[in-house]
């Protein structure tokens, strides 16, 4: 988070001239600057409280609130909504073999790729250690599946290399659940997406699986 700097003082020769009007104007300007700064500070704190510190993606708390809100909107409109859960394959050996800092770098790369390859309005969150969730308001099963497949392929072509320049060969598995067919509530949809993700892992990884009805 950026540090807030307040520049409220002026050189004495510009303002300290004994002119009451000038002093009043300066006081008013200072008050305005202070209250503006408070607003900005509050905004920065609020923003930080919904972000994951490592990747800058939205965090799980934000995901839960947003998914509930977006589902209510989908019901009102009405329209579809999809939830993609994505997990990096064999991430533990990456950490174990190449170090935690390298693992962090991989997480940041994947987070950046996801952010850059979703539609505006889609919400990308870091759900857990090496697990991400994307909320796609308005996306039906076909659209979300296509987007998920695209993301899977993009990750497989990510150019992350080890010290000796050999490619890491990163892959991800994905689980997809859609409103309304797989559930109407946030926890149900997340559960179904998680089950589908488990199926994708069991099926051999580097694949997308769709929730069962």
Q: Does residue number 129 form part of the binding site for ligand GTP (CB under 6 A)?
A: yes
Q: Does residue number 97 form part of the binding site for ligand GTP (CB under 6 A)?
A: no
Q: Does residue number 54 form part of the binding site for ligand GTP (CB under 6 A)?
A: yes
The full DSSP string for the chain is -PPP-------HHHH-SS-HHHHHHHHHHHHHHHHHHHHHHHHHHHHHHTB-TTT-SB-HHHHHHHHHHHHHHHHHTT--EEEEEEEETTHHHHHHHH-HHHHHHHHHHHHHHHHHTS-TT-EEEE-SSSEEEEEEET--HHHHHHHHHHHHHHHHT---B-TTS-B----EEEEEEEETTT-SSHHHHHHHHHHHHHHHHHTTSSSEEEPP-
Size of the site for ligand GTP (CB under 6 A): 16
Q: Does residue number 48 form part of the binding site for ligand GTP (CB under 6 A)?
A: no
| Minimum CB distance to ligand GTP, residue 94 (Å) | 8
Q: Does residue number 107 form part of the binding site for ligand GTP (CB under 6 A)?
A: yes
| Minimum CB distance to ligand GTP, residue 70 (Å) | 26
Restricted to residues 164-203, the positions that interact with ligand GTP (CB under 6 A) are 201
- Catalytic residues, by residue number, are 130
Q: Does residue number 92 form part of the binding site for ligand GTP (CB under 6 A)?
A: yes
Comparing CB distances to ligand GTP, the nearer of 73 and 98 is 98
Binding footprint of ligand GTP on the chain (CB under 6 A): 54, 87-92, 95, 100, 103-104, 107, 129-130, 201, 205
């Amino acid at each position: 988070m950026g540090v807030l700097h307040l520049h409220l003082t002026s050189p004495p020769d510009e303002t300290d001239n004994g002119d009451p009007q000038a002093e009043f104007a300066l006081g008013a300007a200072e008050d305005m600057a202070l209250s503006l700064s408070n607003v900005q500070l509050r905004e920065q704190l609020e923003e930080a409280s919904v972000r994951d510190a490592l990747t800058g993606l939205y965090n799980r708390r934000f995901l839960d609130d947003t998914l509930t809100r977006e589902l209510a909107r989908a019901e009102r409109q009405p329209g579809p909504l999809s939830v993609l859960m994505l997990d990096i394959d064999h991430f533990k050996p990456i950490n174990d073999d190449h170090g935690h800092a390298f693992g962090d770098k991989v997480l940041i790369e994947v987070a950046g790729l996801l952010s850059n390859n979703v539609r505006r309005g889609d919400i990308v969150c870091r759900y857990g250690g090496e697990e991400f969730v994307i909320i796609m308001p308005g996306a039906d099963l076909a659209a979300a599946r296509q987007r998920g497949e695209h993301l899977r392929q993009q990750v497989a072509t990510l150019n992350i290399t080890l010290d000796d320049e050999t490619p890491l060969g990163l892959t991800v598995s994905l689980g997809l659940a859609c409103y309304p067919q797989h559930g109407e509530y946030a926890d149900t949809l997340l559960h179904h997406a998680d089950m589908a993700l488990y199926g994708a892992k069991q099926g051999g990884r580097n694949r997308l699986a769709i929730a069962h009805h």
